[in-house]
Chain A
Amino acid sequence: MKKAFSRPQSLLDVPFHYCPGCTHGVAHRLVGEVIDELGIQDNVIGHAPVGCAVFTMDYFDFDMISAAHGRAPAVATGVKRVLPDRVVFTYQGDGDLAAIGTGEFVHAAVRGEKITCIFINNAVYGMTGGQMAPTTLPGQKTKTTPFGRDSVISGYPIKVCEMLTPLDGAAYIARAAVHSPRAIIQAKKAIKKAFQVQMAGLGFSLVEILSTCPTNWGLTPLEAVKWLEENMIPYFPLGEYKVPAAGVI
């Protein structure tokens, strides 16, 4: 009998440590499926961030490097420059990439570094216990914005895709979400395209994935999905922000 659905080969058979309703697991699975479909499991090197996703190195079944907080695009640059024929990616959260790592991802894009960043935006710091992230929405309550993010004090959410789009070195920039089956299918397409852009040597690629964090949002998993749809998507519109010329990949 034909097996219709199974765990991706690139994902090890170990239980995730993520909270119920967290969408990191979905994003991991999509990355694993794409790597399987592209047949690159033996030639890929992934980079784990600091934050909830630090244990990705235990979940993926291929070579992994644990990078310092925010520095994964710089580490990935070192790897890719030494091994230009390998596929190199980072998996980073919003605190890691868009706060402390702002210099590293921007300049990786500026250089047109042939790496892929999978950027998980759930609008909050997870592992450290729910503090304000650079992508926390105006008015959103976190442990360090107990009265809601006040833009007079704490400014505005960072729009990573919009920032990167004008850069010449950025070849593929997209924002997706994983809150519904339809969105998940779109997210997988974007991840696949990002890897293909890298493999074609076209430049830097990044996929931002809007994700849920029910624990630190103080919501049930179902409420979290609804909150993402109603609050995050209007602020962070989904879609492809930058694509290579038609027919290139």
Chain B
Amino acid sequence: MRVLMKGNEAIGEGAVRAGCRYFFGYPITPQSELTHYLAKRLPEVGGLFLQAESEVASINMVYGAAAAGARVMTSSSGPGISLMQEGLSYLAGSELPSVIVNLMRGGPGLGNIAPSQSDYFQAVKGGGHGDYHMIVLAPNTAQEMLDTMGKAFDLADQYRNPVMVMADGIMGQMMEAVDLAGDTKIEIPPKPWATTGMAHHTGKNVINSCLVIPEEMEELNLRLEKKYKVISQKEQACDQYMLADADIVLVAFGLVSRICMSAVEKARAMGIKAGLIRPITLWPFPTELIEKTADKTRAYLTVEMNMGQMIEDVRLAVRGRAPVFHYGRLGGMVPELKDVLAEIKNLHEGGTGR
């Protein structure tokens, strides 16, 4: 069954289909439709939608529900996600599976409610305190927003780790056809570690990230590091488009990747060998594929709705073997096809970007 859905609604339906039955959140634009959808939808499947008094409370309610063994999520946008950083650090430290959605908007500060990708650093480099990583997924269509939620909950459970799904305000608001015919079988792994009361598991369970003895804290840190290494090796995901013979390689995620696909097509029509890498996982970053293309690529161009954040990860992957340039629009502005094309042409003609 194909239906028209806003991206925000697709995320909500995707969560329900993934077996998520608990949502805790606080109102913020441009993710409002997601909460409207789940406020109606969750009670239909025996779930709970609860509006919290703040994002600080929301993320801690997520912490409690995850500790109790439930599939649980919250969603917000920039300022609200900033308020959640303490909680995200605790979720990572206590290894609680949970899904957090960020529909990014212009910033810093109160900024605006227009689309942006300016929370990239916050999501992939930490954001909260301490040594940790979230898994970060970046869908680029309403369909993928729906499908990603299943993947997000599975990864969260598999690795006992918070997973962030990132998109921008346009993707949340834009309506697209979504196919609801896919797999709806829900498989939630057992959680013998959950604090459900001692009558419901063996022994006493404790959910905790407080280890006052440095040797014990280091032990946790090392265990987390080992887990993050496994995730880095196994979970890198990206799409590629006309990459095989490309010498100008665009790198873009989310909404911008769709604009870049069109730009690649236009460039090809002009005889320029352009291609696109679209990271689907922002952490772990798809370093492997980018690395492989480094020796045959004349120039990389990251196109982002920020001042140049993902470009740092592309440069780390390329390791100086080819120049990496950036084109961005800021403050809620979206890169236009003609401007991206002009950047490609400029690089093709030996230019050095902006």
The answer to whether A74 touches B60 (Cβ under 8 A) is yes
A68 to B88, CA, bound (A): 11
Q: How far is the CA of A41 from the CA of B61 in the complex (A)?
A: 23
Most buried by B among A45, A67, A82, A107: A82
Give how many A-B residue pairs fall within 8 Å (CB-CB). 126
A219 within 8 A of B: no
The interface size of chain B toward A, counting residues with CB under 8 Å, comes to 38
Give the complex CA separation of A82 and B67 in angstroms.
Answer: 10
Residue A63 interfacial (CB < 8 Å)? yes
Q: Which of A66, A82, A86, A103 contacts B209 (CB 8 A)?
A: A66
- Once the chains bind, are A67 and B63 in contact (CB under 8 Å)? yes
| Cα–Cα, bound, A112→B24 (Å) | 16
In the complex, whether A19 has a CB less than 8 A from a CB of chain B is no
B48 touches A81 (CB 8 A): yes
Contact A104 B198 (CB under 8 A): no
Q: Does any Cβ of B come within 8 Å of A26's Cβ? A: no
Residues of chain B from 195 to 245 with CB closer than 8 A to chain A in the complex = 195-199, 204-210
| Inter-chain contact A65/B206, CB cutoff 8 Å | yes
The B interface is mostly helix, strand or loop, or mixed, namely mixed
| A74 neighbours in B (Cβ, 8 Å) | 52, 56-58, 60-61, 63-64
Complex Cα distance A106/B52, Å?
12
If A74-B57, A79-B64 touch, does A57 touch B208 (CB 8 Å cutoff)?
yes
The complex places the Cα of A83 from the Cα of B97 at a distance, in Å, of 17
A82 and B198 CA atoms in complex are apart in Å by: 16
Interface size class of A (residues with CB under 8 A): 20 to 34
Known interface pairs A42-B197, A45-B195, A74-B57; A65-B48 also in contact (CB < 8 Å): no
List CB contacts (< 8 Å) of B13-67 with chain A: 22, 24, 48, 50, 52-54, 56-58, 60-67
User: In the bound complex, what is the Cα–Cα distance between A110 and B67 (angstroms)?
Assistant: 23
The reply to whether B53 and A45 form a contact with Cβ atoms under 8 Å apart is: no
Is the Cβ of B61 less than 8 Å from the Cβ of A83? no
Tell me which residues across on chain A come within 8 A of B196, comparing CB atoms.
45, 63, 83, 86
* CB contact between B206 and one of A64, A86, A110 (< 8 Å): that residue: A64
Are B65 and A79 touching (Cβ within 8 A)? yes
A78 touching B65 in the complex, CB below 8 Å, given contacts A57-B206, A57-B208, A103-B54:
yes
B254 to chain A, nearest CB (A): 29
- Considering the complex, which residues of chain B in the window 168-209 have a beta carbon less than 8 Å from any beta carbon of chain A? 195-199, 204-209
- Within the complex, the shortest CB–CB distance from A90 to chain B, in Å, comes to 10
Question: By the criterion CB–CB under 8 Å, are B87 and A79 in contact?
Answer: no
Asked if B94 is at the interface of the complex by the 8 Å CB criterion, the answer is: yes
Q: Is B90 an interface residue (CB 8 A)?
A: yes
Minimum CB–CB distance from A75 to chain B (whole Å) comes to: 4
Residues of A within 8 A of B209 (CB): 66
B197 pairs with A107, CB closer than 8 A? no
Identity of the chain A residue whose Cβ is nearest the Cβ of B51 in the assembled complex: A111
Docked-complex contact B68 and A103, CB < 8 angstroms: no
Interface centre among A44, A66, A80, A110 (most CB of B within 10 A): A66
Chain B contact residues, CB within 8 Å of chain A: 22, 24, 48, 50, 52-54, 56-58, 60-70, 72, 86-87, 90, 94, 195-199, 204-210
Besides A63-B204, A65-B64, A103-B57, 18 other A-B contacts (C-beta < 8 A): A45-B197, A62-B204, A63-B196, A63-B198, A64-B195, A64-B207, A64-B208, A65-B67, A74-B56, A74-B63, A74-B64, A77-B50, A77-B57, A78-B22, A78-B24, A81-B48, A83-B196, A107-B53
15 contacts between A and B (CB under 8 A): A43-B198, A50-B210, A61-B204, A63-B206, A66-B207, A68-B63, A71-B57, A77-B61, A77-B64, A78-B68, A79-B67, A80-B64, A86-B196, A103-B56, A104-B56
